[in-house]
Amino acid sequence: KQEVTQIPAALSVPEGENLVLNCSFTDSAIYNLQWFRQDPGKGLTSLLLIQSSQREQTSGRLNASLDKSSGRSTLYIAASQPGDSATYLCAVRADDYKLSFGAGTTVTVRA
Amino acid sequence: DTGVSQNPRHKITKRGQNVTFRCDPISEHNRLYWYRQTLGQGPEFLTYFQNEAQLEKSRLLSDRFSAERPKGSFSTLEIQRTEQGDSAMYLCASSLESMSTEAFFGQGTRLTVV
């Protein structure tokens, strides 16, 4: 059974600092990994999708890396802003259809 | 692109009542998924459809839960005889049929059983 762990569970930084969010998974046989953002009481917004053959993916201030063999992914958010405050979830697709999620990292960016 | 749409956004019901949620996926997506999320946890897989066929159900989906996707378009998730433990956010997602595809989620339905 695929287990996904996100560390830390919560993070508070001053505006302008770079954010580093970690995700680890137990079974390296994955198809892809997806990072999501979730605002309180809302659904999930897809941020980045990394295929198993890729090492990293970038979108604006976001950069995600994937080390499949060691079962790790890292999401970097450059120059954080108060609007980046949210919970960030990583999910791996190990089956053809099912996503396995971590519990998320709750980020607070202080103005 | 209207995205994945879920209704209602919030539902408060008394224990023992039946509730039904609706999900409208992105129109060209033939895969549809239901997940459940409790406070402080990541979403957990419940079930998925490929077109109108329900191909997998999690053990989390007790006999009180039923999901349908008639004609491979929208889907409904019904919970019969609700219990307080059913209180959660119910999330719907859709994707194309490919192992490399991105999943898109709706805004969720927040269920509170009192």
Read off the pLDDT of residues A41-76 as tens digits, 9 standing for 90 and up.
999 999 999 999 999 999 999 999 999 999 999 999
In chain B, what residues touch A51 (CB-CB under 8 Å)?
A: 100
Mean pLDDT of chain B: 94
User: How many residues can be counted in chain A?
Assistant: 111
Contact A108, A33 (CB under 8 A): no
Whether B104 contacts chain A with CB within 8 A: yes
Quick one: pLDDT at residue A97? 79
Q: Give CA A109 to chain center in angstroms.
A: 16
Quick one: pLDDT at residue A94? 84
In chain A, what residues touch B69 (CB-CB under 8 Å)?
A: none
CA–CA separation, A40 and A18 (whole Å) = 22
- For residue A40, what are the contacts with CB-CB under 8 A and spacing of at least 6? A87
Mean pLDDT of A6-17: 96
Q: Which residue has the tokens 């996904």?
A: A4
Q: Catalogue the E-assigned strands of chain B.
A: 5-7, 10-13, 19-24, 31-37, 44-50, 53-57, 65-68, 75-79, 88-95, 104-105, 109-113
The pair phi, psi for residue A86, each rounded to 5°, is 180, 180
Whether A40 contacts chain B with CB within 8 A: no
CA–CA separation, B43 and B51 (whole Å) = 22
As a whole-number percent, the residues of chain B with pLDDT over 90 amount to 86
- In this structure, the strands spanning B10-13 and B104-105 are unpaired
pLDDT in tens, A74-90: 999 999 999 999 999 99
Q: Which residue has the tokens 């059983």?
A: B113
Which of A31, A96, A99 shows the shortest C-beta gap to B45? A99
Quick one: pLDDT at residue A55? 96
For residue B58, give the chain A residue with the closest CA.
A98
Whether A54 contacts chain B with CB within 8 A: no
Rounded to the nearest 5 degrees, what angle is found at the Cα of B105, between the Cα atoms of B8 and B68? 60
pLDDT in tens, A20-32: 999 999 999 999 9
CA–CA separation, A87 and B67 (whole Å) = 28
Whether A46 contacts chain B with CB within 8 A: yes
Quick one: pLDDT at residue A99? 93
Q: Which residue has the tokens 């307080």?
A: B84
As a whole-number percent, the residues of chain A with pLDDT over 70 amount to 99
Quick one: pLDDT at residue A44? 97
Residue A96 scores a pLDDT above 80: no
CA–CA separation, B69 and B1 (whole Å) = 21
pLDDT in tens, B6-24: 999 999 999 999 999 999 9
Quick one: pLDDT at residue B1? 53
Which of B42, B48, B110 shows the shortest C-beta gap to A89? B42
Contact A100, A90 (CB under 8 A): no
Among A38, A12, A6, residue whose Cα is nearest residue A107 = A12
